[in-house]
Amino acid sequence: MEKTSKDIGIREVPRWDKWIVLSLQHLFAMFGATILVPYLVDLSPAVALLSSGLGTLAYLLITKGQIPAYLGSSFAFIAPIIAASTLGGPEGAMIGSFLAGIVYGLVALLMKFIGVRWIMYILPPIVVGPVIMVIGLGLASVAIDMAMYVPGTDEYSTTHFTVALVTLAITVLVSMFAKGFFGLVPILFGIIGGYLFALFQGLVDYSPVRDAAWFKAPDLLVPFITYTPQFSWTIAFIMVPVAVVTIAEHIGDQMVLSKIVGKNFIEKPGLHRSILGDGVATMIASIIGGPPNTTYGENIGVLAITRVFSVFVIGGAAVLAIMFAFVGKISALISTIPEAVMGGVSILLFGIIASSGLRMLIDNEIKIGLKRNLIISSVILVIGIGGAFIQVTSTVQIAGMALATITGIVLHLVLPGKEESYGKQEMFSEENK
């Protein structure tokens, strides 16, 4: 896409008043999804905002201020964080997140010295697509439980389910019919609309907001200060394989972003820098108790609509997110959002995650009817969603999505006819050889 005279370039600084408005727009675009992730995995939304801002600033620094991308909480890590927290508490999940960030760094190092084609060689669409479907479908029961039941019980509630369905309906309607920027923030509109409806149903308690201070430092989880880190191979096997999938998604995001801005970010500043930026952002989040970070499609959409590519605008949004993290009443207000509202939004979100895996297969024109592709996708889906696991030792287990990912990669490497699993994957086009 060619740059026009109305575009604001990557290194341009808008007038201060316009700068603030444009940065707020990016903040609103990421806000709903970024606070939803910590809400679902029982982490602090304030810390998620803080880690999002710090991670984005680190990303901009590592990519030399050449890629206008905003980073927020990653949905791919929801199920692994829940599983890791069950085994080792939130501290265990943070250790796993840090290890996933290290994987990003190692992959970036390999890309720096041997190029990018190897990662796509072992991660074709027929592997990544079904694994993404596992991520979404594996969370389906979480969304339904939040939507249908009284929080903390197994008691079915018509009121709660009605709130969830109204929230879902608002999210769907905004997603389908809203234009421009508003069409990019259906999650935010869904949460606000569902919240107002829940308020009239008597499900909102404002006492935490009244009691909260205006200024309050986020509740950080800092290793060697608030807890002593303990390594676990089981948690490592739960968290680390997710990084492999999110790296493949990251590459896709960079391709889309390159087309929107009209610059080849894969070559300059280089895919190794952008992946390292993601990894460092995830490690920063893990050190302070936030969920792993990733580049946000919502903010890429804002770039496409506004044609404002300034990294200073992105940096401004990051600074605002950091400031919001220290406003105690904002954190308290987020905590008053009823579980049913989040459940209603999650029904659509988790379904979209699963559908995006299917879309990857369709976009790359993968022939799912071929025996090789059918076998790989089928095995990944059943192992991942079914909850299969391998007990390596009495304390080490490879389970769920990790086992599904590893199995899919192995099947892809050993079964004949590898070329059938790539389809028209852009990474293997002539221009990228």
- What whole-number distance in Å separates Cα of residue 322 and Cα of residue 316? 10
Q: What is the pLDDT of residue 244?
A: 83
pLDDT in tens, the chain (433 residues): 444 546 788 999 988 888 998 899 899 888 888 888 998 899 999 999 999 999 999 999 999 999 999 999 998 899 899 989 998 999 999 999 999 999 999 999 999 998 888 887 888 999 989 999 998 898 899 899 999 999 988 899 999 999 999 999 999 999 899 887 788 788 888 999 999 999 999 999 999 899 989 999 999 999 999 999 999 999 998 899 889 888 888 888 888 889 889 899 988 999 999 999 999 999 999 999 999 999 887 788 888 888 889 999 999 999 999 999 999 998 899 889 999 999 999 999 899 889 988 988 998 899 999 999 999 999 999 999 998 989 887 777 788 888 999 999 999 999 998 888 888 765 444 334 3
Task: Give φ, ψ of 308 to 5 degrees.
Answer: -105, 105
* pTM reported for the whole predicted model: 0.86
- What does the alpha-carbon distance between residue 379 and residue 144 come to, in Å, rounded to a whole number? 25
Side chain identity at residue 331, one-letter code: S
The pLDDT, as a whole number, for residue 159 is 95
The span from the CA of 399 to the CA of 139, in Å, is 15
- Between CA 201 and CA 198 the distance in angstroms is 5
In this structure, is the dihedral angle defined by the CA atoms of residues 179, 73, 358 and 188, taken in order, positive or negative?
A: negative
Using left for φ > 0, alpha for ψ between -120 and 50, and beta otherwise, residue 417 falls in left
CB count, 10 Å around CB of 359? 14
The answer to whether 379 and 385 are in contact (CB under 8 A) is no
Separation of alpha carbons 85 and 92, rounded Å = 6
| pLDDT attached to residue 400 | 80
- Cβ distance 204 to 338 under 8 Å? yes
Task: Give per-residue pLDDT as tens, 135-193.
Answer: 889 889 989 999 999 998 889 999 999 999 999 999 999 989 988 778 878 888 899 99
Half-sphere exposure of 416 (CA within 13 A, CB side): 0
C-alpha 1: how far from chain center: 26
- Rounded CA gap, 85 and 93, in Å? 5
Residue 72: in which H helix or E strand, if any? strand 71-73
Structure tokens at 76: 């791919």
Cα separation of 44 and 230, whole Å? 21
Q: Which pLDDT belongs to residue 304?
A: 85
Nearest to 8 by CA among 396, 351, 306, 228: 306
What residues are paired with 72 via a beta bridge? 294
Of 236, 250, 252, residue with least CA distance to 102: 236
Amino acid 284: pLDDT: 97
One-letter identity of residue 131 = V
CA dist 423 and 363 (Å) reads: 9
pLDDT at 181: 77
First to last CA, the chain: 22
Residues in the chain: 433
CB neighbours of residue 92 within 10 Å: 24
| pLDDT at site 326 | 95
Answer yes or no: are the C-beta atoms of 157 and 149 closer than 8 Å: yes
pLDDT at 121: 85
